[in-house]
Amino acid sequence: MTSRSLPTNATLADLGEFGLVDALKERFPQGDNVLLGPGDDAAVVTVPDGRVVVSTDLLVDTRHFRRDWASALDIGHKAAAQNLSDINAMGGRATALTVGLAAPPDLPATWALELADGIVEEAGLVGASVVGGDVTRSDQVMIAVTVLGSVEGEPVRRSGARPGDVVAIAGRQGWAAAGLAVLARGFRSPRALVEAHRRPEPPYGAGPVAAAAGATAMIDVSDGLLGDVAHIAEASGVAIDISAGSFEVAEPLRAVGAALGADPMRFILTGGDDHALVATYPAGTALPDGWTRIGEVAEGSGVTVDGAAYEGPAGHTHF
């Protein structure tokens, strides 16, 4: 993307708040659904049926990303992806984003603009626009993204799973967790896994397709497969059993598992940040393309793997 000419070593303090806002606005093209974009007190967007689906996430430097592990462009993609995936998990389609950035005054201005480019590129994958936001001074970098979208018909909630339903997944799973394990040990390969951690690839479009196919419950896998499936089990008042044998363990996962002395299935069962979707469907449903059966729903409570309790943490916890 192009922008007004800036000194290569300019900082946020050099630009000032409004200079930064002006530079960011140049990077946010507006889609047809945007009636009023950045520049006023609030944005105005249209939605097909008058209902809006909203999700917000906050990313903090050194906790959710590391600037020495990923570029600003990658971090922008990741920040947008994890929010866009939440709309996807409701069976909806994202239309607009707002972004908040808190940063130290000596942060290079080019970093902030590259972050914006990453957000715009990721949002463009689903046809969404960045319509506004805010910037402020902080001792560390923090990014807050809010996504707005719409759904056709009823949103797919976590609470609709019923005994007899099948459990299915769309998207890759375990790659980002394996990439994080690699980076944490000071390595940069296998590159495919490192890139999966830096820049997730949610299965955009799989959510609306699942909703149209009759999915009864759905969730975005952000904190770990078993931990997030447990949210469906709890909200629906059911038990869910996951079949470990239903997953294909990709070669890069096997390689990292062997190198680190770890079971690669742990990355798949407890890893987050790939933003795969897990949904439940009524028995006998022909699963849409891209969806794979991985378990079943039964009477009871909790989540098991191959009929037994899983030993160890089921995923990431924030506190």
On whether 273 is known to bind a ligand per the annotation, the reply is yes
55 annotated as ligand-binding: yes
CB atoms within 10 A of CB 287: 16
The response to whether 68 counts as a known ligand-binding position is no
Q: Is 41 annotated as a binding residue?
A: yes
51 labelled binding-site residue: no
74 marked as part of a ligand binding site: no
Cα–Cα distance measured from residue 166 to residue 215, given in angstroms and rounded to the nearest whole number: 10
* Residue 11 annotated as lining a ligand binding site: no
222 is in an annotated binding site: yes
Known binding residue 98? Answer is no
- Feature table: binding site for ATP: 133-134, 158, 222
- Feature table: binding site: 41, 55-57, 64, 86, 133-134, 158, 220, 222-223, 273
- Feature table: binding site for Mg(2+): 41, 55-57, 86, 134, 220, 223
- Feature table: binding site for substrate: 64, 273
